């Protein structure tokens, strides 16, 4: 029995490590796609796409491992919550990877034309979102509710960035029709980053649920607050 228990703990730890690797890969995707935009370096798009394959591969592996644990170990209470939250986080990270790909697609459009303006806010916004992803995963592995709450609080910063970026870009669009296509691509990038931050927020909420056994999603009205 002791042997079985230790095996179960190793399996849970293995799941944790895979999620950390997957999240680190998704974070790298965000970083590189923004570098591609700022440094106008098309080669980075190839790296981002290769990393997406890795994220997708890990997603399937993690889902399968979690399923196997549920089927063979029939965990209850805290262990069951851990595995369910791992499944949910798995889905969130995969969507973060998708969003990095979406950003890359908008960057493709932008690199076909001269730069519209120096980019300051978008890289800063992406930094905050990337940090939220990293910290939400740290909160998960350390079962750290305070850190999770900190991630949730940072979501407002990201929303403020987005609003400011959209306002500025609308001014460009109205001032010069030739800027419209590029300004729209930048607006969409800001929205993709905002959604990355939303997924990190979801992860943080799942961590609180896992640790405290209570669901903080709708009562605090976070998930439905995704701004337009």
The answer to whether residue 98 forms part of the interface with a copy of itself (CB under 8 A) is yes
Residue with smaller CB distance to a copy of itself, 68 or 153: 68
The answer to whether residue 4 forms part of the interface with a copy of itself (CB under 8 A) is no
113 touches 10 (CB < 8 A): no
Residues in contact with 73: Cβ distance below 8 Å, sequence separation at least 6, in sequence order: 8, 11, 79
The answer to whether residue 177 forms part of the interface with a copy of itself (CB under 8 A) is yes
DSSP-H helix ranges across the chain: 2-39, 43-73, 77-111, 121-142, 145-175, 180-212
- The long-range contacts involving 10-14, CB below 8 angstroms and separated by at least 24 positions, are 11/65, 11/69, 11/73, 12/69, 12/79, 12/82, 12/83, 14/65
CA distance 190 to 150: 21
Total residues contacting a copy of itself by CB under 8 A comes to: 45
The answer to whether residue 181 forms part of the interface with a copy of itself (CB under 8 A) is yes
Q: Which of 43, 114, 118, 228 binds a copy of itself (CB under 8 A)?
A: 228
The answer to whether residue 124 forms part of the interface with a copy of itself (CB under 8 A) is no
Residues engaged in binding a copy of itself (CB under 8 A)? 52, 56-57, 59-60, 63-64, 67, 70-71, 74, 76-77, 80-81, 84, 87-88, 91, 94, 97-98, 101-102, 105-106, 170, 173-175, 177, 180-181, 184, 187-188, 191, 215, 217-218, 223-224, 226-228
């Amino acid at each position: 029995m002791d042997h079985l228990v230790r095996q179960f703990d190793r399996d849970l730890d293995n799941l944790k490590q895979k999620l950390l690797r997957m999240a680190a890969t998704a974070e790298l995707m965000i970083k590189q796609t923004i570098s591609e935009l700022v440094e106008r370096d098309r080669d980075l798009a190839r790296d981002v796409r290769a990393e997406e394959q890795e994220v997708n591969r890990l997603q399937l592996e993690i889902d399968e491992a979690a399923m196997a644990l549920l089927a063979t170990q029939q965990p209850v209470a805290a262990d069951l919550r851990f595995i369910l939250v791992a499944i949910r986080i798995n889905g969130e990270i995969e969507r973060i990877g998708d969003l990095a790909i979406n950003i890359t697609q908008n960057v493709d459009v932008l690199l076909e034309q001269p730069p519209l303006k120096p980019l300051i806010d978008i890289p800063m916004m992406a930094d905050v979102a990337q940090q939220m992803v990293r910290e939400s995963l740290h909160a998960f592995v350390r079962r750290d509710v305070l850190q999770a709450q900190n991630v949730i609080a940072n979501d407002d910063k990201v929303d403020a960035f987005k609003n400011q970026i959209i306002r500025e870009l609308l001014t460009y669009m109205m001032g010069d029709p030739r800027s419209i296509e590029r300004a729209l691509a930048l607006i969409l990038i800001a929205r993709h980053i905002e959604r990355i931050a939303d997924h990190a927020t979801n992860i943080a909420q799942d961590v609180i649920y896992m640790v405290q056994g209570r669901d903080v999603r709708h009562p605090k009205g976070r998930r439905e607050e995704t701004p337009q």
